[in-house]
Amino acid sequence: MIVIMKPHATMAEKAAIIARAEEHNCKIHLSDGSERTIIGVIGNVRPIDRDQVERMPGVERVVPILKPFKVASREFKPNNTIIPVGNYDIGGGELVIMAGPCAVESRSQILETAQAVKEAGAHMLRGGAFKPRSSPYSFQGLGEQGLKYLAEARELTGMPIITEVMEPALVPMICEYADILQIGARNMQNFALLHAVGKSHHPVMLKRGMSSLVEEWLMSAEYILSHGNTKVMMCERGIRTIETSTRFTFDVNAIPVLKQWTHLPVIADPSHGTGKWEFVAAIARAAVAAGADGLIIEVHPRPDEAMSDGVQSLKPERFARLVQEIKGIAAAIGMTVAETAVSA
């Protein structure tokens, strides 16, 4: 931690900083420049509250040296984390594709879609049973019945399923049905929920908040990891920016940034990252070219009847073509798309 003092900070003000550091058994390096005094605080500085120091008299600002996340960092664990789900190893070098409708709408809809995406080359099935909707008047999902349909689809196709969990009290129930728990963008800093999925020790896909820094996103992963649940994957799904031609701006930069900062697998969601089906294929290809470990894509057999997100859903035929394009891109960067498992 580096403390930059104001131009005319007094000796007493500097001494107070030093005393505060020494209380925490940290060492000090003092640099008196012509315009500023800089105090370097060395040692285990994590217990020192940065905000408190910044509020001490004579302090201009405090510059942290270390990133605030620890267990999520590459320094803590240099090798990639690999998360086994069904017959697949997410983060293990083979690209994994998750696909399915935004919401489970009926038994026939999810079974039809599951078979269609499997035939097209998907490895896992997505589908929401509990839906976060910005309007209280919109369809809120089928609830546990939706989970049952998902389980039936898994039985039929052999595909592991991923579905969203929205509140701590529902974690145990959703763990019974789902292979991967999804934390949605709006809940990225729902800390009670992060604690609950951390305790579950179930695989978790953590979506990025729509206006969250990569650093904050990794801090939310750290919440889950801090309970000993190491099965966390990060899902880039676009951030809100000034641009309005797409619903969100897919932050493709975040893919190599995450690969440098963390050992956790990175999944890309081009459906939410664009919000328009016409652009989904281009961004899916871009994400793979940038180094993503997996994709999650919304597919619906009849998007103009979808109960949510129809506007960003691909039809199965377009999705099937995309899987072929993805295989080409993956090959070009020395990666392969996982083989689809044979049905149970």
Using CA atoms, how far apart are residues 128 and 126, in angstroms rounded to an integer? 7
Only segment of 81-89, 113-121, 148-156, 254-262 that touches its own copies (CB under 8 A): 254-262
Q: Tell whether residue 296 is a contact of its own copies (CB under 8 A).
A: no
Give how many residues touch its own copies by CB under 8 A: 108
For residues 92, 194, 149, 176, the Cα torsion angle rounded to the nearest 10 degrees is: 80
Nearer to its own copies, 85 or 330 (CB): 330
Q: Read off the amino acid at residue 144.
A: E
Residue 174: CB atoms within 10 A of its CB come to 22
- d(CA 114, CA 117) in angstroms, rounded, equals 5
Shortest distance, position 343 Cβ to its own copies, whole Å: 29
Q: Can you tell me which residue has the tokens 């999804």?
A: 182
Instruction: Tally Cβ neighbours within 10 Å of residue 187.
Output: 22
Cα(44)–Cα(51) distance, rounded to whole angstroms?
16
Nearer to its own copies, 159 or 188 (CB): 188
307-326 binders of its own copies (CB under 8 A) = 307-311, 313, 325
**Which residue from 257, 301, 318, 341 is in contact with its own copies, where contact means CB under 8 A?**
257
E strand or H helix at 260: helix 254-261
* 15 makes contact with its own copies (CB under 8 A): no
In the sheet with 27-32, reading across from the earlier edge strand, the strands are: 27-32, 37-42, 2-5, 59-63
DSSP code string of 23-49: HTT-EEEEEE-SS-EEEEEES--TTS-
Per CB under 8 A, 153 contacts its own copies: no
Q: Does 344 participate in binding its own copies (rule CB under 8 A)?
A: no
CB of 152 to its own copies, least distance (A): 26
Distance CA(323)–CA(329), nearest Å, equals 10
Nearer to its own copies, 63 or 344 (CB): 63
Q: Footprint of its own copies on residues 181-240 (CB under 8 A)?
A: 186-187, 189-193, 209-211, 213-216, 219-220, 222-223, 226, 239-240
Which parts of 31-90 interact with its own copies (CB under 8 A)? Answer: 31-36, 38, 40, 42-44, 46, 49, 51-57, 63, 65-66, 68, 75
Smallest distance, its own copies to C-beta of residue 226, A: 4
86 or 223: whose CB is closer to its own copies?
223
